[in-house]
A and B are shown apart, each in its own frame.
Chain A
Amino acid sequence: MTLQELRTALEGRGYVASGDLSMALHLALGLGRPLLLEGPAGVGKTEIARALAEATGARLIRLQCYEGLDASHAIYEWNYQRQLLAIRAEGATEDSLFSEKYLMRRPLLEAISQPEPPVLLIDEIDRADEEFEAYLLEILSEFQITIPELGTIAATSRPVVILTANGTRDLSDALRRRCLYSYVDYPDRDTEIAILRARAPDLAPRLARQIVGVVQALRREDLEKKPGVAEMLDWAAALAGLGVNDLSDDPATVQATLVCLLKTATDRDAAPPELMARLIGKVA
């Protein structure tokens, strides 16, 4: 798949990727290296994995990281309850107990034992602890997993690995080195309008411009949580659902729908009706 084909395929799935990001994806596919995405929340880091999976017709396997994530949740676990039952009911032997039948595949094992290369999304890797990062590094370089009872399982296909991070903590140099990197920032105005178009084709172009203009202006305000692309899309859907055709028509509704954009009490207070009127006045 060439770079241009990739971009078109992504756009067909409603994902408008910047030049840097689509190049990084293209290289990740071509070189078979994992891709690390960083950037603020809500800019579509997770979404890109879904779009890529759809565009390439691959399966999406997702591993959500959290503090304390360990091998039994990320790689595999034996189904002990069934094993105990099998011992009771059938008098099963060790050979049959530790077989594929009782193996619960967690995302990492699942990802390397697919017939077709899937897209493996490791979400918010910075939330997992350092030990897990080190373990992940090993899997990402060897693409094989050793289960003491079964032996080593080598990958039947190499997954396309996408890691995302929000900067909860710094990642190790080793992991950064192994990965390709792309910083996903808030999109510029034109790109964001294109995203809104792709996601909500029925929206009037004028309203789309207004929505994007207001959201971009809000991001420049001093807010605790800046509204991301996902919030912008929610807001657009809310406004469309309420039948708003022009933001300046109905300030009360606009103010009420801000729940889609501003997610903390301080941010709500930071955007009083006067400010919204000013922002809307600018883009109208």
Chain B
Amino acid sequence: MRATRFPERAGGPEDRMAGFVAHLRLNGLRLGPAETADALEALMLVDATDRDAARAALKALFVPDAETWRRFDDLYDAYWFNAGRTRRGTAHPDRRGVAAPSAAALWQPHLDGGAGAAGRETDRQPDAGEGEAEGTEGRLIATRTRNLARRDLREIADADALREAARAAEALARAIRDRRSRRRKQALRGREIDLRRTLRASLARGGEPLDLRRRSRPDRPVRIIALCDVSGSMTVYARVFLAFVKGLVDADTEAEAYLFHTRAMRVTPALRDRDTLRAATRLGLMAEGFGGGTDIGASLAAFADGPGGRRLTRRSVVVILSDGYCTGRPEALAAALARLRRRAGRIVWLNPLKGWADYAPVAAGIRAALPHLDAHLPANTIAALAALEPEFARL
């Protein structure tokens, strides 16, 4: 293996290390200038001319998790040994590669409308075939509507359906949110005596513990993150589901909502908008390409990588509303769900098809997803949604 020859203008080891940190940053590691300094300090502790020692030292220092652990060696070779897997870092760290928020990509399809639409058309081809092939129950919906044009979501925010679904959603949100913490906090009428505070209070009484202070296990709100599929196969349900998601978001200031078809986008602010007309307009703008193809795996992966995914904790419930028909690879869906599973407390999949009498989860997408779900529940009507409450309470 030949070592990289750095250009003349590159300075000493500091510059090269800064270049390496920039190279790692381009490849998705979150490192700052402090890490560069740490790296130089670490190399002082080992024999920096020993190739393996230097590699092992930088690996221990820079790698944050198991996934990166496996690919670090390649990244290392790419920079220091000319393996050229990625753009070779110059000795000047630059921020060009820092991933810009995907907003630009999001708007791309309707900026150059024709190309974007064509791209999605090819995306969607297998979807039609799949719907045809995979059992009788999904075909009707999976292949009927293909509408790539801008769709006005105002007609979807129909007042009656919205109110009813929202009510069901609020009941559900309450059922999920009421969970007890294992920690204890002081409380006026708790079940246990808080010895620490009781004793403090007793000092005022000459050491007699007369005033008993209590503590209890406080309620911990569970955050709900709803991901609603708005692709072609889901069009007939979109009306109900959007209202449902709005209900979830309204019930709780912590809740978040995303819509996805081939991408995932955050719609929480639009759903919270009190001005219905403005909300509808904002949603309409966001749901550009609404009713097109589906790539659940890629959407979930994008969500997990984004700021939304990073905010997931064990007290989050991810609610996915989708029929599981997906043009992406089922393995990608399984991998994305497995990643979400590690971060979130629970994943619930609400499937409109599951309410059908002879439904069996045979579509490749949903079959791949099932092992990673905490619950796979029917949701084809508002009544079915309302009936979910006991199921949710059990989660």
Contacts and interface: CB of A to CB of B under 8 A. Distances in A.
Nearest to B44: A30
Interface stretch (A167-175, A204-212, A272-280): A167-175
Contact of B60 (A130, A177, A180): A180
B313 interface: yes
B61 A27 contact: yes
Contact of A20 (B42, B59, B65, B313): B59
Interface residues of B, number: 36
Contacts of A72: 196
Interface stretch (B45-53, B156-164, B280-288, B369-377): B45-53
A31 B61 CA distance: 10
A131 interface: yes
A182 interface: yes
Interface string A146-172: 000000000000000000000101100
A132 to B, nearest CB: 9
A279 B343 CA distance: 38
Contact of B342 (A20, A26, A169, A181): A169
Contacts of A234: none
Contacts of A170: 65, 342-343
A19 B57 CA distance: 10
Contacts of B63: 181, 183
A181 B30 CA distance: 14
Interface in A22-47: 23-24, 26-28, 30-31, 35, 38-39
Interface stretch (A8-16, A78-86, A110-118, A189-197): A78-86
Contacts of A130: 313-314
Given A3-B46, A83-B199, A180-B61, A31 B41 contact: yes
Interface of A: 3, 19-20, 23-24, 26-28, 30-31, 35, 38-39, 67-68, 70, 72, 77-78, 80, 83-84, 87-88, 91-92, 94, 97, 129-131, 167, 169-170, 173, 176-177, 180-183
15 contacts: A19-B56, A24-B60, A27-B45, A27-B61, A38-B65, A68-B183, A70-B183, A84-B199, A87-B202, A88-B207, A130-B313, A177-B30, A181-B69, A183-B63, A183-B69
Interface of B: 30, 38, 41-42, 45-47, 52-53, 56-57, 59-61, 63-66, 69-70, 181-184, 195-196, 199, 202-203, 207, 209, 310, 313-314, 342-343
The 5 closest A-B CB pairs, nearest first, are: A68-B182, A23-B56, A87-B207, A24-B60, A176-B64
